[in-house]
Amino acid sequence: MRITGLSTHVVGTPWRNLTYVQVHTDEGLSGVGEAWMLNHTDALIGYQALKFDPFGSGTMELDHTETMRSVSLVEAVRDAIGEETELLIEMHGRFSPATAIRLAGLLTPFKPSWIEEPCPPENLKALAKVSAHTDLPIATGERIHDRIEFRELFELQAADVIQPDISHIGGITETRKLAATAETHYAMIAPHNVGGHFTLPDAPGLGIELDVEARAEFPRQRANFDLFADNWQLRDPERTGPGGPA
């Protein structure tokens, strides 16, 4: 499988400009992913690393057809970006240890810099089993919400890269404390931020103020999408949420 076309699309919103990359292959398969342009959407600058989830709607296990399709997508992306660009594989914490180990073996020839959340985060011993059976670095941590909870992860040596979510774990101060602990266990840190980027302020603190009147213009919406349904990446609850078509 080879990539035959790449196109970029920018969608403006009051929050930020959303940048999407559409990929087409010579076998008729296509995919779309969101990119982070950090206010450079006019330039669409090049990336040093790309991360994506190629696994469709698989959960716990992945059948042979979907497995081969997923591996082919990774192969096509590696072929397109070359050896100099890092490739990061997202698994969204949805596979059993056996499935994750099998997939890691199939992906190893494409030299991913890490596989992210290969297993659900609640069972760290399952993650340790995956780590013990692959040479690929393991990244996890965005759904571990307390600095103390990382202790078991470090003791098991189940991850090579930790990804605490700054907005969930208690802010920058807690993240710095965790980073110091990670250093003593020779673990790297790649902070996760579900809320996107923000511009550093000139004034003391983070410079964040709540505009209640502006917030009123954006009422709460139904945002419950099913991660394991087809087209989950569209984040459209009408198509992928409970009661919606898969």
Per-residue pLDDT of the chain (246 residues; tens, 9 = 90+): 566 777 777 777 665 666 777 777 777 777 666 655 455 544 444 568 889 899 988 889 999 999 999 999 999 889 888 888 899 999 999 999 999 999 999 999 999 999 999 999 999 999 999 999 999 999 999 999 888 889 999 999 999 999 999 888 988 889 999 999 999 999 999 999 877 666 767 766 666 666 778 877 877 666 566 667 777 766 665 655 555 554
CA-atom Rg of the chain in angstroms = 19
Please answer whether residues 24 and 68 qualify as being in contact, where contact means their C-beta atoms are separated by less than 8 angstroms: no
In which element (H, E) is residue 128 found? helix 124-132
pLDDT at residue 137, as a whole number:
97
Residues assigned a catalytic role: 92, 192
Residues 6+ apart with CB under 8 A from 215: none
Angle, CA 2 vertex, CA 25 and CA 133 arms, to 5°? 105
pLDDT at residue 44, as a whole number:
45
Q: Which of 210, 244, 212 is nearest to 226 (CA)?
A: 244
Does the model's pTM come out above 0.85?
no
